[in-house]
Structure formats: structure tokens, C-alpha cells
């Protein structure tokens, strides 16, 4: 259906382009209004300082004035109480004879005729939307006059009876304009509360005799200029929007419909639409579609830019409220990014002062703003099936069979990000564009490893290698099993691929994660859970949430090292620390299960883990300490093919050293540097020397006979020991 925008005091349509018929009619209305105002000022000036004459000119001069010949009403009482100027001022030039009542009536009729057009002039529309009385509208016209026609200053001076007062004042408005009301000068009245006019009030001067000016933004609007206020333009940016050709996924269409239904309800102030969820892009899309259904242009304001000082915060709120009255705009207050602890309170205070259409976006719900209703709408990320459809639409003929499904399974991106990656990557760089996109947020949260090893570098038992290949296969076939075969409709938890790598240090857990990342063409990010944990309640969960949210869009493989730091056996709850430790464990496991990529936990102490927690993981891969046969193979692979002397090494002898794979690679590298400094050939004595140094570094027991070697002779005997 065709929706109408919330009745918030904003124009129904943006100002037409310059040169249109509307602009000409708007100029005609302003010209007629200024002519009418000039006649009023001349009438007041020609009447002199007499109370009766001064009041009569204003009371019978408006389009709704009393008929000619009716006695003029007595002068308003405020006129008798108005303070005198603080210092004598030179007298204004003698006024010309005042206009006749018929001339005033004719001018008022021209204003009424110029006003009665569709769409109405900008000043008329603004007055209607903000609920200005006719007197308030005329006060605003008087303040606009010196900006629209500088020559009117002489009439202001003549009307005041002082050449030094060539400007509008509330005193003059109350004396000259029809139907004067004191409320117009109140700071709570619309003119001042909405910052339509400003009073240059100085110490020692009366409020009603101080100069009053129209705000520059209001002047431009009345002229027909539709630009954003410069004070707001430096804070807000247009909300990204893909356009009508990018439909909302079905799961997010429901969220947009709920937003529209909330704004469709009759209300003086539309509710705040509080969009929650993990993907900022999805919330952008829902907000943009909703705003455009109501003819509004959404602008994004980061919550971090809200001023902390209450007066500045109130000023910003009033400026935005006024902007929403001038242009069809909506505010998207973005509280997704981490901000200072006082940010939620600032957001609440700001929203309680704004009456215009507002979206509030945050990862989790915020407290409702005081005095204003809020509707919480959860915006879920698109499903794998919806992402696959978006990829097929974005790639077109380049999608190919199965390509869209694979991209959808590996990269949990929102629809705008999918279209952006398709444009940026081109036909051949899609995967790289997706991977690169996720690095911006992840690089500050975890260490990125560049996988350079493959399956041929792994030396593991057959069972462990088979499990690793199963893991890679499940990641690549998620879209087939979950969506095409319908398993995602039956299973709501545990859709992510989770694995525990357990084994002593240096047995290949990190290398296996690198092999998987290289096989899948994804980034690998490693972080120690001991570094994620915080002694402050709730901070550990926040750190984990940031990590997983950032990794999801880039489809990264997450390696959570030192898992035993958090996943130790849960004991009885004796105090608050035990209770929150269990909460942290539960949150980590739930987040791993909901993670649509590959999440790996690594530990050196599987025995320290709670068995109930291990059962919730999909794979457990054991990395045993290598036996002699596997150690010999690891030694062979530790030296590159072009390393001089590698073929002459005694690998069976080296396999007798009780070293892990990581120690083997370190020893091989150190031996290579020793060889480069001494002869240029890697020899057994150099390797054993490097091994002895590694043992001492790690404070392992050093037995000299383990680091000696006897060179075999051609006759089968061996030479003396070499060390």
C-alpha cells in the first residue's frame, strides 16, 4: 500500500527543483507578503508614537483584519509597560504618509491568493507542519524580511522611531502584526524552541526590544533551498542504500513490515524504531527500506558523536527536530560501535528530546528513552539460502553452478555487503574481496596467520588426518546439507562446525588449523582465550562477541588457543565468581555453535576439560606426541628440498631425540643458520648442536650421549664420536 510519512511537522515532499512553477509561485508569495509587511510598517511609522494610531495600523492590516471603518481596538497593555531603550537614540527620518486601509486590505488579499496554491509556499507549509499561529508566522516573516529584502531596515527604523533600531523586535511585532500573543516570545514557544528565530539579548536590554533574526537555515528553506543544515551535515552521512533493485530477504522483510506498522499508528510523535542484531548492514537495509516507504531520506549519526554536555545535546536535538520539519528526513542513530560507558545514557537523553522519526541501531536492546515509546525490532542476519539468492543476483551469469551456495556458506555477509563485494571483486576476485572485507575489524581483535603449509606437511596418525578432511568437507558442504536438504529447518543449534584440537604443545595443532584455512581459502585468526578473559563481569562475553561477530562476515577460521583457561572443569557454585565463570563457558559454547564458519579450540590439557562441554563439540581431534617413525618423517620434511646437505643427514638417528614437531622445525632452522656461517652445508654435528641448544633453552634434561654422532665408514664400521 501507499504509506504516508509520520505527522512530525516535516514537509511531505522535498522542495522542487529550481526553475519550476512552484519556485515561481513561492517567489510570488514572498513578494506579496513583503509588500504587505512594508505597508504595515509604513502605517505604524506614520501613526507616530500615539498609542491609538500605533495599534490601529497593526490590528487592521492582516488578511484576517477587521473591515474598514471598524473602530481600532485599544492599544495592547504591554505597550504601556514596555521599557524605554537604555540610551537615547537619534530620531528616524520623518515617515511618508501611511497607506490607506483599502491599500492594506488589497495587499492582504494578494497574500491570501498567493498562499492558496498546491503545493503551498515553503513558509505556509512550514507554519502548518509546526502548528504556528498566524501571528507566529508573521513574526517569522518579519525576521525573514531583512534577509530577503535588506532595504526594509529603514522601515524597521522608522517604525521603531530610532535609526539605531533598523531590525525586527518582538516589541515591534506585538505592536504592528495582527492578533499579537505573548506566547510567541516565550522560550517554550515554537519560534524559539525550534530555533526558527534567535534573540540577540544582551545584559541591560529588554527581551522585547532586542534584535530578532531568522536562522540562516530557515531563510534558505523559505527561499526553496533544500540542503541539509551545515551544523548537521558535518555529523551525519546518508545511510547506505542499494536502491529498489535490491529487495529485502524474506526474513528481514518481516522486520521492515513491523517497523512500518509501528509508524502507521496515529500518534503525535512516532515511536523510536530500535533495531537490534549483529549485522549493521542488515539494519541499514531495513531502515532504508522503511524510511523510503514513508518518503523519508535516512541519515546516519554515530552515537559516539553525541555531545556530552547537556546544553549541547539539547541544541543538537532541537536542530534535528527542526531539520525534520524542513526536509523529509529520518535519523539513524548508530550505537553499534563500542563507545564510552556513558553512551547509553547520552542516547537515552537525546532520544527523549527528539520528536522526529528515529531509528536506533544497537547490538543488544537499550533502555527505552524516558517519555518516548520505543518499538524493539530484531533484525536477523540473512539465512544461507537468502545469501545464496543474493549472490546469484549479484553475480548474474558469473555465478556458475554451486558458486553462490559455496560463497553463502563460507561468508555470513549481509545483502549490501554481498553486492559490494561482487562489484569490488569482479568475476575472478570475489573470494579475495570477501576475505579482505572481514580483515578490517578482525585485525584488531586477533592475530592473523598466513597459511603456507598443506596436507603434505602434516605428519599425523591416519585417524587424525581423516577427521581433519571431514572438517574441511563439512565447511564446504554446509549449504547443501543445511539448506538444500533441509537440515537447518529441523536443527536450530549446532549449525557451525566446531572442533577441539587436543594434544601436547608442538604436536601440530596450529599447523593443522593452517592446513584447513588454506584448503578452504580463508583467513586464519588465532587468539588466546586467556587474553580474552576479563575479571570484570560481562567483559569476557563482550570480547568473545566482538571476535565472533567480526569473524562471521569474513568467514575466517577461528583458532581459540589455551582453551583450558576458560573451559576447565566446572565446580560447585560457591560464590559469584564461580557463577559467572560458568556463564562465560556457556556463552562461548553457544556462540561457537551459532558461528556458521569453522571455530577450533586448542588445548594442551584435555583432561582438565568438562566432559559435558566436550560432548557439545562436533569434532575432537587428538594430536599425540610423535613416535620414532613419525619423528623421522618430520625431520625429513623439516629441511627444504634445496637445503645443502639434507640428503646426507641421519634421520633415524635424529628420530631418537625426544622432540615435538615444533621443536624439530626450530632446530632445523637454527642448524641452517649455523651452516650458513660455517661452510655452507648442513651437517649432523651442526643439527645436534642446534638440538642441544634448544633443549637447554627449554630447560629439558641434556645428556651428552644423546647429542653425539659417529660417522659410518665404507666398510661398515663407524668413526670416532663427533659432537
DSSP of 507-563, one letter per residue?
Answer: SSHHHHHHHHHHHHT--EEEEEHHHH--SSTTHHHHHHHHHHHHHHHHTPEEEEE-G
In terms of Cβ atoms closer than 10 Å to its own Cβ (0-12, 13-18, 19+), residue 90 is exposed
Helix (H/G/I), strand (E/B), else coil: 133: coil
**What is the β-pairing status of strands 297-302 and 237-238?**
antiparallel
Which of 653, 689, 654, 685 has the alpha carbon at shortest distance from 670? Answer: 689
Question: For residue 713, what are the CA distances in angstroms to 477, 707, 708, 717, 718?
Answer: 57, 20, 16, 5, 5
Q: Give the integer Cα–Cα distance in Å for 86 and 407.
A: 77
Are 689 and 671 within 8 A, CB to CB? yes
CA dist 710 and 723 (Å) reads 9
Query: What are the residues whose beta carbons fall under 8 Å from the beta carbon of 571, sequence distance 6 or more?
Result: 578
Burial class (CB in 10 A: 0-12, 13-18, 19+), 138: buried
As given in the structure block, the three cell numbers for residue 719 are 668413526
Q: What is the pLDDT, as a whole number, of residue 585? A: 79
Q: Give dist(CA 631, CA 35) in Å, integer.
A: 100
Give yes or no for a cis peptide into 119 (omega within 30° of 0): yes
Instruction: List the 329-334 sheet strands across, edge first.
Output: 237-238, 297-302, 329-334, 358-362, 272-276, 374-378
pLDDT of residue 9: 40
Q: Residues near 542 by Cβ (< 8 Å), separated by ≥ 6?
A: none
Q: Which parts of the chain register pLDDT below 50?
A: 1-2, 7-16, 18, 49-90, 92, 573, 721
Q: Are 257 and 375 in contact (CB under 8 A)?
A: no
pLDDT of residue 76: 38
| Residue pair 136/167 in contact by the 8 Å Cβ criterion | no
Instruction: Give burial (CB, 10 Å; 0-12/13-18/19+) of 491.
Output: exposed
Distance separating alpha carbons of residues 664 and 9, to the nearest angstrom: 74
With residue 592 as reference, give the H or E element that holds it: helix 576-594
- Structure confidence at residue 581 (pLDDT): 66
Q: What was the pLDDT predicted at 54? A: 35
Angle at 134 (CA atoms; ends 131, 136), nearest 5 degrees: 75
What is the C-alpha separation between 429 and 722, in angstroms, rounded?
A: 55
Grid coordinates representing 156? 524597521
What domains does the chain contain, in order, with CATH numbers?
A: 21-223 (no CATH), 232-378 (3.40.50.300), 448-622 (3.40.50.300), 628-722 (1.10.8.60)
Dmax (CA) of the chain: 142
Q: What is the pLDDT of residue 630?
A: 95
Reported residue count of the chain is 723
Grid cell for residue 232: 548537521
DSSP state of 426: T
Residue with cell 524580511: 145
Secondary structure of residue 487 in the 3-state scheme: helix
CB 628 within 8 A of CB 658: no
Nearest partner of 524 among 494, 561, 476, 556, judged by Cα: 556
The H-assigned helical ranges of 47-115 are 51-59, 77-81, 101-115
* 600 three-state secondary structure: strand
Amino acid at each position: 500500500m501507499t504509506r504516508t510519512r509520520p505527522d512530525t511537522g516535516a514537509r511531505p515532499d522535498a522542495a522542487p527543483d529550481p526553475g519550476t512553477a512552484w519556485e515561481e509561485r513561492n517567489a510570488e508569495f514572498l513578494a506579496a507578503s513583503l509588500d504587505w509587511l512594508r505597508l504595515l510598517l509604513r502605517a505604524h511609522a506614520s501613526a507616530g508614537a500615539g498609542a491609538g494610531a500605533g495599534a490601529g495600523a497593526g490590528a487592521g492590516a492582516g488578511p484576517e483584519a477587521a473591515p474598514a471603518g471598524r473602530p481600532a481596538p485599544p492599544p495592547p497593555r504591554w505597550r504601556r509597560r514596555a521599557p524605554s531603550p537604555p540610551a537615547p537614540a537619534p530620531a528616524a527620518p520623518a515617515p511618508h504618509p501611511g497607506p490607506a486601509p483599502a491599500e492594506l486590505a488589497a495587499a492582504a488579499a494578494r497574500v491570501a491568493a498567493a498562499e492558496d496554491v498546491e503545493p503551498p509556499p515553503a513558509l505556509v507549509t512550514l507554519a502548518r507542519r509546526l502548528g504556528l499561529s498566524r501571528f507566529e508566522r508573521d513574526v517569522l516573516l518579519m525576521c525573514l524580511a531583512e534577509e530577503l529584502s535588506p532595504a526594509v531596515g529603514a522601515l524597521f527604523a522608522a517604525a521603531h522611531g530610532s535609526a539605531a533600531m533598523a531590525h525586527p523586535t518582538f516589541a515591534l511585532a506585538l505592536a504592528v502584526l495582527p492578533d499579537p500573543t505573548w506566547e510567541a516570545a516565550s522560550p517554550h514557544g515554537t519560534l524559539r524552541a525550534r530555533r526558527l528565530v534567535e534573540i540577540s539579548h544582551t545584559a541591560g536590554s529588554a527581551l522585547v526590544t532586542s534584535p530578532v533574526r531568522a536562522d540562516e537555515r530557515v531563510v534558505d528553506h523559505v527561499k526553496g533551498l533544500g540542503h541539509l543544515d551545515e551544523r548537521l551535515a558535518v555529523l551525519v552521512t546518508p545511510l547506505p542504500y542499494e536502491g529498489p533493485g535490491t529487495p529485502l530477504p524474506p526474513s528481514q522483510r518481516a522486520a521492515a513490515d513491523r517497523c512500518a506498522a509501528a509508524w502507521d499508528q496515529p500518534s503525535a510523535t512516532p515511536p523510536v524504531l530500535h533495531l537490534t542484531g549483529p549485522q549493521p548492514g542488515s539494519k541499514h537495509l531495513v531502515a532504508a527500506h522503511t524510511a523510503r516507504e514513508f518518503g523519508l531520506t535516512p541519515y546516519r549519526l554515530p552515537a559516539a558523536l553525541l555531545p556530552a554536555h547537556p546544553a549541547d545535546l539539547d541544541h543538537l536535538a532541537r536542530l534535528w527536530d527542526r531539520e525534520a520539519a524542513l526536509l523529509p528526513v529520518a535519523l539513524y542513530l548508530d550505537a553499534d560501535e563500542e563507545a564510552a560507558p556513558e553512551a547509553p545514557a547520552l542516547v537515552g537523553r537525546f532520544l527523549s528530546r527528539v520528536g522526529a522519526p528515529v531509528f536506533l541501531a544497537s547490538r543488544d536492546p537499550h533502555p527505552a528513552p524516558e517519555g518516548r515509546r520505543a518499538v524493539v525490532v530484531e533484525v536477523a542476519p540473512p539465512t544461507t539460502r537468502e545469501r545464496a539468492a543474493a549472490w546469484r543476483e549479484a553475480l548474474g551469469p558469473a555465478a556458475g553452478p554451486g558458486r553462490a551456495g559455496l560463497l553463502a556458506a563460507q561468508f555470513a555477509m549481509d545483502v549490501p555487503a554481498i553486492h559490494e563485494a561482487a562489484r569490488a571483486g569482479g568475476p575472478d576476485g570475489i573470494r579475495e574481496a570477501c576475505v579482505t572485507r572481514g580483515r578490517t575489524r578482525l585485525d584488531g581483535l586477533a592475530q592473523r596467520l598466513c597459511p603456507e603449509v598443506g596436507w603434505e606437511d602434516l605428519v599425523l596418525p591416519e585417524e587424525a588426518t581423516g577427521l581433519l578432511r571431514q572438517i574441511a568437507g563439512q565447511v564446504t558442504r554446509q549449504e547443501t546439507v543445511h539448506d538444500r536438504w533441509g537440515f537447518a529447518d529441523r536443527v536450530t543449534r549446532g549449525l557451525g562446525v566446531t572442533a577441539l584440537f587436543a594434544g601436547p604443545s608442538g604436536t601440530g595443532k596450529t599447523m593443522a588449523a593452517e592446513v584447513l584455512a588454506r584448503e578452504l581459502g580463508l583467513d586464519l585468526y588465532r587468539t588466546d582465550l586467556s587474553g580474552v578473559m576479563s575479571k570484570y563481569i560481562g567483559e569476557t562475553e563482550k570480547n568473545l562477541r566482538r571476535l565472533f561477530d567480526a569473524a562471521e562476515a569474513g568467514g575466517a577460521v577461528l583458532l581459540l588457543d589455551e582453551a583450558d583457561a576458560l573451559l576447565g572443569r566446572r565446580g560447585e557454585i560457591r560464590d559469584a565468581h564461580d557463577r559467572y565463570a560458568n556463564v562465560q563457558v556457556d556463552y562461548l559454547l553457544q556462540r561457537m555453535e551459532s558461528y556458521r564458519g569453522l571455530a577450533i579450540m586448542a588445548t594442551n590439557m584435555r583432561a582438565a576439560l568438562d566432559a559435558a562441554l566436550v560432548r557439545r563439540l562436533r569434532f575432537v581431534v587428538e594430536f599425540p606426541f610423535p613416535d620414532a617413525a613419525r619423528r623421522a618423517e618430520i625431520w625429513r620434511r623439516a629441511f627444504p628440498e634445496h637445503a645443502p646437505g639434507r640428503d646426507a643427514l641421519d634421520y633415524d638417528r635424529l628420530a631418537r631425540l625426544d622432540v615435538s614437531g615444533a621443536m624439530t622445525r626450530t632446530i632445523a632452522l637454527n642448524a641452517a643458520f649455523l651452516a650458513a656461517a660455517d661452510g655452507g652445508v648442513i651437517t649432523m654435528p651442526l643439527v645436534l648442536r642446534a638440538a642441544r641448544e634448544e633443549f637447554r633453552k627449554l630447560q629439558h634434561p641434556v645428556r651428552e650421549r644423546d647429542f653425539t654422532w659417529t660417522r659410518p665408514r665404507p666398510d661398515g664400521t663407524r668413526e670416532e664420536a663427533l659432537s
